[in-house]
Amino acid sequence: MISVTEAKHIIRANATALAPVTIPLQQALGRVLAADVFALTDIPSFHQSAMDGYALSFAGFQLHKTLTIQGEVPAGEPELFTLNGNQAMRIFTGAAVPAGADTVVMQEKVQVTDGQLHILDEQLKAGLNVRPTGSEIKAGELVLSKGQKLTPAAIGFLATTGVAEVSVYPTPVMSIIVTGNELQQPGNALLHGQVYECNSFQLRAALQQLQIEDVPVFEAKDDPQTVKDILQNALDNSDVVLLTGGVSVGNYDFVPEAAAACGVTTLFHKLKQRPGKPLFVGKKENKWVFGLPGNPSSVLTCFYEFVVPALEQLMQLPPFLKTIKAPLAKAYSKTALLTFFLKGYYDGKSVVPLDAQESYRLRSFAMANCLLCLPEEKMDFKEGEEIEVHLIPE
């Protein structure tokens, strides 16, 4: 067995980013930019009115005081207008300011009489209510940097600069294989000795939070040839394969054997941790195989702690689980010199280990919003002692 620290180092050392792809901007939410994006033009590309009002030359207004209104310019009007110093134009928000004008006075601060504009704004100054050309960004300037995760606002910003598609790191193609003769699908009646299969449900849901969708699920009975055949098919069509069950040392645990038969090189098998001690991780060229234990809490814990770091590097994502330090709400003593990952609840001030920590029990995990990470070498933790906490996204 190796330590949790060693295992995570091995994953980081072996995981490299997937080759970038170019996709439409509408599909880029949550993806990470694989290249810098630069502005192709000034934004706005013309002097733009920030208000409904009247465009004018400030110097002309100071000279003439009363200005003659020369038509209007709505937003999107392609015609180019020019004003003399004694003229003004009705203008609307977003419209191009006519040549010769440099200021917009709000419509609420004027009086119009017989086509003449009388300005009542004593605070009016040159340039007021005009968005200068390139005030958002200038041609050639950096819009967004490589490595930035695309939020709704970032996508909107890219769209304002005219970007229609972006180079991003793709989501990996993934498959899930659930092993075990005892598994029954929810909705069907349980026979004696059967349990409902839940691991594929929780794994697919967790992957959806990472925007990895449409992950196929395969069922494999406890037979070495069956497991091998299904795994080989998954490897042929996936970047990452998650298996649940069949990784321990029982007579029906065939995942490590099947992985070897498929040409998968073992990176590690079995960790000094609880839950999830039998975890198997291997690679075949650039394809990953994670053999997760069968117990539901072990599956989800190993997914968060080991699968997610690999996916983060493949997709170049920022950390999915935020790590903080928080005081224990009550004392806790471990029962073995292993790293413990405990289902817990963090209330913003302190963290408490929940009841029902057994690896087969999901009720407490359903209530948890974090995992407590208790290091291998220490057994006893006092109330109020600060520990490492991994916050689980909702």
Each residue's pLDDT tens digit, 318-341: 999 999 999 999 999 999 999 999
The domain segmentation of the chain, as residue ranges, is: 4-19+171-315, 29-41+137-168, 48-131, 322-391
- pLDDT above 90 for 253: no
Q: Is 342 a residue whose pLDDT tops 70?
A: yes
- For residue 251, the model assigns a pLDDT of 67
Architecture of the domain spanning 29-41+137-168: Alpha-Beta Complex (3.90)
Q: What is the pLDDT of residues 258-274, one digit of tens each?
A: 999 999 999 999 999 99
CATH architecture of 322-391: Beta Barrel (2.40)
Q: Which CATH number fits domain 4-19+171-315: 3.40.50.300, 3.20.20.70, 3.40.980.10, 3.10.110.10?
A: 3.40.980.10
48-131 CATH pick, 2.170.190.11, 3.60.20.10, 2.60.40.10, 2.40.10.230: 2.170.190.11
Give yes or no for a contact between 326 and 348, defined as CB atoms under 8 angstroms apart. Answer: no
The residue among 244, 249, 299, 259 whose CA lies nearest residue 276 is 299
Burial class (CB in 10 A: 0-12, 13-18, 19+), 306: buried
The answer to whether residues 33 and 144 touch, using CB atoms and an 8 Å cutoff, is: yes
Taking the C-alpha atoms of residue 246 and residue 184, their distance in angstroms, rounded to an integer, is 16
Amino acid 27 reads Q
What mean pLDDT comes out for the span 353-367?
A: 94
pTM, whole model, 2 decimals? Answer: 0.88
